């Protein structure tokens, strides 16, 4: 992770977009050695709740060493009328260092008012860096499928746990049919999924994966439903074979029985605050265990993996669909 | 819904970043208490564990003469891994150690018992990767012992279990000894079970030579004799022989660097596009390129190859001793620490294009690069005196450090006059990809476990490389051969190397 500091700031109220673009060009000029552009993506944060926005920004800054991004934060005020129609803009040029390399990137905050809020693509596109993907991160609520921002975005980023858990799944299910959606809540489940899947590797354990008879999944609303949907889809389990219960952290326990009567139990659970532990026990056979340290529970958890993988995830989409069924 | 018909498929793995995850297996390291194991192998295994690329059914067994217990080896592994992650500590708890002499049958009997026990308790399914991190003198005898004790061939435990043998260079010290080693290994292992490591091929930037050439439409059309004037390959080290004096005296720069690392880089630079980017596709084309390298006759060696030996000098601000003053080096040693060569590749693509190779110790800096220098334009239309600062176009692939690509071309100098001079357009991998690249051993260990031999050396590559350099070694072994030219530590080698270029100049990387 990198330490980020503000190199310079430009801010104006009620300005046109060309003034913002000009300011972006000018910001780097006073620096003694104009840096090569380091950004690898455009990240557009959409939301009004300052806590959510600040959390998102903190995550982006934390990841600057790995995914330096031009950050656009849009605050929308569609009800504004008359003389208020203009952009309030604030641009920060940020500098940091990662693995000995200097990184520069810009954080642009725009308050958009009036009719322009219905034509956001006309604002986003001029501000994005060419040839880099545009990721729209909705931090307050999932977008409607016809949200105008989506026409300018390559990828929709959400955190379904933050957006209400299972309550937002119907909306997300509609979205994934038309857009590439990356869900941070799903990304954070990867350690559990990886460890659980790994328990079935090897000739002593592999047969059991085809004979899972039931699953118990504990966790919060959203994550536990995604895990349940994933198991239902991947293992062909009927919904009534999966028992979901409320808990602070995710625990997954699978029960399997081979045709010859041998039974096995496969467990992935959070051992303590920072690790996931997994264990396989099969009757008359070897045992297998593994432990995986979780990253620190910062806002960036899951974001790094998400930004490395800006593409459709059919496994997630199926898990989402089965979570609702 | 997932398809559950295929019993070999684990449906829970789909969609996870585990395409290259190792299967259940045991990594058996001969030389388990040695330097290579602690400096390279154990840190690489720890990194693979950190990246979640190792299976839960996995273990490492160290084998060596050192009288260690399992716990001694575990403590050693824990400390060498370079991480305090609990996952590594948990993994190390399952490591085992067999102390014994490689010449004693009992060593291998005890090894077999340990492996059987691991299979039964951890579910590793009879899969083995044997890694010979030992001196090359015992490669053949350890392989033979593995065969005698039933450890070399496919296990009867499961129809899909595998046994592989990884060996480190040098693969022989000349062509006859390389062939003998191959015969010995093939007595016990099939070629597809042998993984010959040249760690240079595990470097991301060496693999990037393939990406640059074959993933882009703009480079390949000019990658030939019609546009390229010459190619320079430089593998420079600023360090001396250090504690490797004993080994280096019997090897020298040609055997240590040129015959393997430099020839691999040359093959990747000169090869034709492979039909497929898989193990056989790439290795077939590398072999074709090596076969096309003209073999020098003994009489041609002095005009095509220059050897040197570093004398006392200054490197990176410090005075350093000459080679013959280093620990373990004979005061009259004729061993070369520098080699420069002019090779030609007799095929349609490269006929007439000289390949200049250069490697050495105690050069001004550590750098590896491939530079293609292009022919001049047929006519310069600028007024006289306006292009005196214009050099030939060049494309430089910087392999280490500061990995990237530099394109040198002419540009107009701002101002009223039409002056042109050469400028650099730099691309740095570090600016485009800020994520961390895996270390070479990490990549190669995983490849050996997953059964991908693409980045390992096939037996015919070894033979063709020796075929090229055997006449040079023979010429240098003649009693009448002149000794290596001396060069001051911190210089770019002996002046005599310039004569190989026929009017060109060595680059200053």
CATH of residue B98: 3.40.50.720
- Asked if B297 and B419 sit in the same domain, the reply is yes
Higher-pLDDT residue of B251 and B254 is B254
- At residue B129 the predicted structure's pLDDT band, cuts being 50, 70 and 90, is very high
pLDDT digits (tens, 9 = 90+) for B418-472: 888 888 887 777 666 656 677 889 999 999 999 999 889 999 999 999 999 999 9
User: Are the Cβ atoms of A65 and B434 closer than 8 angstroms?
Assistant: yes
B434 and A288 in contact by Cβ < 8 A?
Answer: no
- Check which CATH number belongs to the domain holding B426 and give it: 3.30.360.10
> Which span out of A19-23, A187-191, B221-225 was modeled with the highest average pLDDT?
B221-225
Question: Mean pLDDT lowest for which of B156-170, B205-219, B342-356?
Answer: B156-170
Verify that A44 and A135 share a domain, yes or no: yes
Residue at a domain's end among A131, A153, A175: A153
Is A207 close to B13, i.e. CB distance below 8 A? no
A202 touching B, CB under 8 A? yes
Give the tokens for residue B303: 């005009």
Range of A93-97, B18-22, B71-75, B440-444 with top mean pLDDT: B71-75
Active-site residue flag, B261: yes
Measure CB to CB from residue A198 to each of B56, B85, B122 and give the nearest one. Answer: B56
More confident site: B235 or A81: B235
Out of B23, B122, B436, the one facing A288 most closely (by C-beta) is: B122
Which residue segment(s) compose the domain that A93 sits in? 4-153
What does the longest C-alpha to C-alpha distance in chain B come to? 85
**A171 located within any domain:** no
Interface test with B, best of A103, A182, A201, A241 (most B CBs within 10 A): A201
Q: What digits encode the pLDDT tens for the residues A161-191?
A: 999 889 999 999 999 999 999 999 999 998 8
Higher confidence at residue B303 or residue A68? Answer: B303
Interface of B with A in 420-479 (CB under 8 A): 428, 430-432, 434-436
Contact A115/B at CB under 8 A: no
Same domain, B340 and B252: yes
pLDDT of residue B27 exceeding 90, the answer is yes
What is d(CA A77, CA A316) in angstroms, rounded to the nearest whole number? 33
pLDDT reading at A130 higher than 50:
yes
* Residue B508 domain-assigned (yes or no): no
Interchain contact, A234 vs B121, CB within 8 Å: no
A84 falls in which pLDDT band (50, 70, 90)?
A: low
Instruction: Select from B434, B435, B436, B449 the residue whose CB has the most chain A CBs within 10 Å, as the one to mutate to test that interface.
Output: B434
* Interface contact flag, B10 A209, Cβ < 8 Å: yes
Report the DSSP beta bridge partners of residue B262. none
- Give the separation between CA A222 and CA B338, rounded to whole angstroms: 64
Q: Are residues B360 and B233 located together in one domain of the fold? A: yes
Burial class (CB in 10 A: 0-12, 13-18, 19+), A90: middle
| ipTM over 0.90 threshold | no
Chains A, B: CB pairs < 8 Å: 126
Helix spans in B424-479 (H): 429-432, 440-450, 459-477
Task: Give the one of B4, B87, B431 whose C-beta lies nearest to A38's C-beta.
Answer: B431
Indicate if A148 and A230 belong to the same structural domain.
no
Is the confidence at residue B66, as pLDDT, over 80?
yes
Q: Do B15 and A210 touch (CB under 8 A)?
A: no
Residues A148 and A205 in one domain: no
How many other C-beta atoms lie within 10 A of the C-beta of residue B137? 7
Q: Are residues A204 and A311 in the same domain?
A: yes
Residue A13 phi, psi (nearest 5): -110, 150
Name the residue range of residue B465's domain.
Answer: 202-435+458-501
What's the DSSP call for residue A76? E
Helix H segments across B135-258?
A: 139-148, 175-186, 204-214, 245-253
CA–CA min distance B226, chain A (Å): 33
- Selecting from A103, A207, A286 the residue whose C-beta is nearest the C-beta of B120 gives A286
Judge if B112 and B232 occupy the same domain. Answer: no
Which whole number is the average pLDDT over B322-345? 94
Q: What is the helix (H) or strand (E) element at residue B412, kind and residue range?
A: strand B404-412
Residue of chain B whose Cα is closest to the Cα of A231: B12
Q: Specify whether B128 is located in the same domain as B207.
A: no
Q: Tell me which of B145, B168, B191 is where a domain ends.
A: B168
Nearest residue on chain B to A278, judged by CA atoms? B56
Does A119 map to a domain?
yes
Radius of gyration of chain B (CA): 25
* Amino acid B351: pLDDT: 96
CB contact under 8 A, B12 and A66: no
Same-domain check for residues A139 and A22: yes
Q: Indicate if the alpha-carbon torsion angle B102, B107, B109, B115 is positive or negative.
A: negative
Q: How far is A206 from chain B (nearest CA, A)?
A: 7
A176: in domain: no
pLDDT of A229-267, one tens digit each? 999 999 999 989 999 999 988 999 999 999 999 999 999
Closest CB from B17, B56, B158 relative to A201: B56
Residues B294 and B404 in one domain: yes
Q: What percent of chain B has pLDDT over 90?
A: 58
Residue A55 included in any domain? yes
Q: What is the count of structural domains for chain A? A: 2
Q: B427 to chain A nearest CA, in Å?
A: 10
- Contact indicator for A158, A142 with CB cutoff of 8 Å: yes
Residues B156 and B220 in one domain: no
Q: Which site among A97, A273, A290, A306 would you substitute to test the B interface, given the most B Cβ atoms closer than 10 Å to its Cβ?
A: A290
pLDDT at B19: 60
Instruction: Tell if the CB–CB gap between A101 and B434 is shorter than 8 Å.
Output: yes
User: Residue ranges of the alpha helices (H) in B158-278?
Assistant: 175-186, 204-214, 245-253, 263-270
The two structure tokens encoding residue A192: 């559990």
The minimal CB distance from A236 to the residues B1, B14, B119 is found for B1
Judge if B380 and B472 occupy the same domain.
yes
B172-208 pLDDT, tens digit each: 889 999 999 999 999 899 888 999 998 888 887 788 8
Q: At what angle do helices B42-50 and B440-450 cross, to 10 degrees?
A: 70
A290 to B122: CB separation less than 8 angstroms, yes or no: no
Cα B40 off chain centre by: 14
Q: Nearest by CB to A234, which of B2, B18, B157? A: B2
* B141-155: pLDDT as tens digits: 999 999 999 898 754
Query: Which stretch of DSSP H or E encloses residue B344?
Result: none
- CA B471 from chain centre, in angstroms, equals 23
C-alpha B260/C-alpha B168 separation (Å) is: 11
Identify the active-site residue in B149, B199, B243, B261: B261
The answer to the question of residue B130 being in a domain is yes
A194 interaction partners in chain B (CB closer than 8 Å): 16, 18, 52
- A275-282 and B25-30 strand pairing: unpaired
Residues A298 and A212 in one domain: yes
Nearest CA in chain B to A277: B87
Cβ count near B295 (within 10 Å): 15
Looking at residue A1, its pLDDT comes to 45
- Residue B15 in any domain: the answer is no
Q: Which two tokens stand for residue B274?
A: 């492979």
pLDDT tier for residue B157 given thresholds of 50, 70 and 90:
very low
The answer to whether residue B132 sits within a structural domain is yes
Domain membership of residue A204 (yes or no) is yes
Lowest mean pLDDT among A225-229, B192-196, B264-268, B277-281: B277-281
The verdict on B206 and B113 lying in the same domain is no
pLDDT at A52 over 80: yes
Cβ–Cβ < 8 Å for A215, A201: no
**Which of A206, A275, A289 has its CB closest to that of B56?**
A289
- Pair (A19, A122) in one structural domain: yes
Q: What is the mean pLDDT of residues B18-39?
A: 88
Q: Which residues of A touch B15 (CB under 8 A)?
A: 313-316
Contact at CB, A197 and B158, closer than 8 angstroms: no
* Of the partner residues B56, B158, B428, the one whose CB lies closest to the CB of residue A290: B56
pLDDT of residue B108: 95
Boundary (domain end) residue, out of B111, B146, B168: B168
Task: Round to whole Å and give the CA distance between B373 and B232.
Answer: 8
Residue B92 has pLDDT above 50, yes or no: yes
Between the alpha carbon of residue B22 and those of residues A104, A202, B19, the distances in Å are 38, 11, 9
Q: To the nearest whole angstrom, how far is the Cα of B61 from the nearest Cα of chain A? A: 17
Q: Quick one: which of A207, A203, A277 has its CA closest to B91?
A: A277
Calculate the alpha carbon distances from B18 to A42, A144, A200 in Å.
28, 33, 13
Confidence of residue A27 (pLDDT cuts 50, 70, 90): confident
Q: What is the pLDDT of residues A279-320, one digit of tens each?
A: 999 988 888 888 877 877 776 777 877 887 788 999 999 999
Within 8 A by CB and 6+ apart from B407, the residues are B393, B394, B395, B396, B424, B425
Instruction: Report residue B207 as tokens.
Output: 């693999």
Same domain, B347 and B463: yes
What angle do the packed helices A223-235 and A314-324 form, to 10 degrees?
100
- CB-based contact, B364 to chain A, within 8 Å: no
**Residue A8 shares a structural domain with residue A123:** yes
A246: left (phi over 0), alpha (psi -120 to 50) or beta: beta
Identify whether residues B295 and B235 lie together within a single domain.
Answer: yes
Whether residues A127 and A232 share a domain: the answer is no
pLDDT at B6 over 70: no
Q: What confidence category does residue A113 fall into, taking pLDDT thresholds of 50, 70 and 90?
A: confident
Contact at CB, B11 and A235, closer than 8 angstroms: yes
In the predicted structure, residue B298 carries a pLDDT above the cut 70: yes
Q: Is the pLDDT of residue B313 over 60?
A: yes
Residue, of B50 and B389, whose pLDDT is higher: B50
Shared domain check, A107 and A58? yes
Tell whether B292 is covered by a domain: yes
- Token representation of residue B295: 């073999």
Residue B387 shares a structural domain with residue B489 = yes
| Residue A16 near chain B (CB below 8 Å) | no
Is position B349 within any domain?
yes
Does B401 reach chain A within 8 Å, measured CB to CB? no
B3 touches chain A (CB under 8 A): no
In a domain, B495, yes or no: yes
Q: Give the Cα separation of A303 and A157 in Å (integer).
A: 9
**Is B441 part of a structural domain of the chain?**
no
A233 belongs to a structural domain: yes
Taking contacts as CB-CB distances below 8 angstroms, the residues of chain B near A285 are 123
Residue of chain B whose Cα is closest to the Cα of A291 = B87
Query: In B, which residues are within 8 Å of A103 by CB distance?
Result: 434
Residues of A in contact with B21 (CB under 8 A): 198
What are the structure tokens assigned to B227, written together? 């546009």
Instruction: Determine whether the interchain pair A67/B23 forms a contact, defined as Cβ–Cβ distance below 8 Å.
Output: no
- The answer to whether position A117 is within a domain reads yes
- Chain A stretch 121-160, residues whose beta carbon is closer than 8 A to a beta carbon of chain B: none
Residues in chain B with CB shorter than 8 Å from the CB of A235 are 2, 4, 11-12
When divided into structural domains, chain B yields a total of: 2
Hey, are the CB atoms on B12 and A197 less than 8 Å from each other?
A: yes
A291 found inside a domain? yes
Q: Are A287 and B121 in contact (CB under 8 A)?
A: yes
Mean pLDDT over all residues of chain A?
Answer: 85
Strand partners, A92: A9, A107
């Amino acid at each position: 992770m990198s330490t980020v500091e503000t190199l310079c700031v430009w801010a104006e109220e009620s300005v046109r977009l060309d003034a913002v673009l000009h300011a972006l060009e000018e910001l780097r000029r006073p620096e003694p050695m104009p840096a090569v552009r380091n950004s690898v993506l455009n990240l557009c944060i959409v939301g009004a709740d300052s806590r959510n926005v600040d959390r998102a920004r903190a995550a982006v800054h934390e990841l600057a060493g790995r995914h330096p991004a031009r950050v656009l934060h849009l605050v929308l005020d569609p009800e504004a009328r008359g003389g208020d129609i203009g952009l309030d803009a604030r641009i920060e040029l940020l500098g940091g260092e990662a693995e000995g390399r200097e990184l520069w990137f810009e954080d642009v905050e725009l308050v958009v008012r009036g009719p322009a809020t219905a034509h956001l693509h006309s604002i986003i596109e001029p501000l994005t860096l060419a040839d880099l993907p545009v990721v729209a991160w909705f931090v307050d609520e999932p977008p409607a499928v016809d949200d105008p921002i989506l026409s300018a975005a390559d990828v929709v980023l959400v955190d379904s746990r933050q957006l209400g858990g299972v309550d937002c799944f119907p909306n997300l299910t509609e979205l994934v049919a038309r857009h590439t959606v990356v869900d941070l809540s799903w990304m954070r489940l990867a350690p559990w999924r990886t460890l659980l899947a790994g328990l079935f590797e090897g000739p002593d354990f592999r047969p059991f994966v085809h004979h899972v008879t039931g699953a118990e999944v504990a966790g919060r609303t959203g994550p536990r439903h995604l895990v349940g949907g994933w198991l239902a889809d991947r293992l062909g389990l009927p919904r009534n074979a999966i028992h979901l219960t409320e808990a602070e952290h995710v625990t997954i326990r699978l029960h399997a029985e081979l045709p010859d009567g041998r039974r096995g139990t496969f467990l992935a659970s959070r051992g303590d605050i920072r690790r996931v532990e997994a264990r396989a026990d099969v009757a008359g056979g070897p045992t297998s265990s593994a432990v995986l340290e979780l990253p620190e529970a910062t806002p960036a958890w899951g974001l790094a993996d998400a930004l490395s993988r800006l593409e459709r995830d059919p496994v997630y989409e199926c898990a989402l669909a089965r979570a609702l069924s | 819904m997932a398809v559950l018909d295929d019993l070999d498929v684990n449906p829970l793995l789909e969609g996870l970043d585990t395409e290259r995850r190792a299967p259940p297996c045991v990594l058996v390291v001969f030389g388990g208490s040695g330097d290579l194991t602690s400096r390279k192998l154990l840190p690489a295994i720890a990194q693979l564990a950190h990246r979640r690329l190792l299976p839960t059914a996995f273990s490492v067994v160290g084998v060596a003469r050192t009288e260690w217990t399992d716990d001694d080896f575990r403590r050693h592994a824990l400390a060498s891994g370079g991480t305090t992650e609990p996952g590594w500590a948990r993994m190390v708890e399952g490591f085992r150690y067999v102390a014994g002499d490689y010449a004693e049958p009992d060593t291998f009997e005890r090894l077999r018992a340990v492996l059987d026990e691991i299979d039964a308790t951890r579910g590793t399914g009879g899969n083995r990767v044997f890694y010979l991190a030992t001196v090359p003198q015992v490669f053949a005898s350890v392989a033979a012992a593995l065969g005698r004790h039933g450890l070399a061939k496919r296990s009867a435990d499961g129809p899909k279990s595998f046994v592989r043998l990884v060996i480190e260079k040098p693969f022989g010290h000349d062509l006859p000894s390389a062939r003998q080693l191959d015969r010995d290994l093939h007595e016990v292992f099939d070629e597809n079970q042998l993984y010959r490591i040249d760690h240079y091929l595990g470097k991301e930037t060496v693999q990037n030579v393939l990406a640059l050439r074959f993933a882009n439409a703009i480079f390949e059309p000019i990658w030939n004799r019609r546009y390229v004037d010459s190619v320079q390959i430089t593998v420079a080290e600023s360090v001396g022989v250090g504690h490797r004096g004993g080994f280096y005296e019997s090897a020298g720069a040609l055997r240590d660097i040129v015959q393997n690392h430099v020839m691999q880089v040359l093959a990747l630079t000169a090869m034709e596009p492979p039909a497929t980017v898989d193990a056989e596709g790439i290795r077939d084309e590398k072999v074709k390129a090596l076969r096309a390298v003209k073999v020098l006759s003994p009489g041609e060696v002095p005009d095509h190859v220059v050897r040197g030996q570093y004398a006392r000098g200054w490197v990176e601000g410090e005075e350093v001793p000459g080679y013959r003053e280093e620990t373990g080096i004979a005061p009259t040693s004729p061993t070369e620490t520098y080699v420069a060569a002019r090779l030609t590749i007799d095929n349609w693509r490269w006929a007439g294009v000289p390949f200049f190779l250069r490697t050495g110790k105690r050069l001004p800096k550590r750098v590896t690069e491939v530079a293609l220098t292009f022919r001049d334009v047929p006519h310069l239309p600028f007024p006289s005196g306006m292009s005196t600062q214009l050099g030939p176009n060049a494309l430089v692939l910087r392999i280490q450090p500061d990995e990237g690509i530099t394109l040198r071309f002419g540009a107009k100098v701002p101002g009223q006059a039409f002056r042109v001079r050469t400028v650099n357009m730099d691309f740095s991998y570090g600016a485009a990809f800020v994520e961390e690249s895996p270390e070479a051993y990490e990549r190669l260990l995983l490849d050996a476990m997953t059964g991908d031999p693409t980045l390992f050396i096939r037996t015919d590559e070894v033979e063709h490389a020796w075929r090229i350099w055997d006449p040079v070694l023979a010429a240098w072994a003649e009693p009448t051969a002149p000794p290596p030219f001396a060069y001051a530590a911190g210089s770019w080698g002996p002046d005599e190397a310039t004569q190989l270029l026929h009017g060109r100049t060595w680059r200053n990387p």
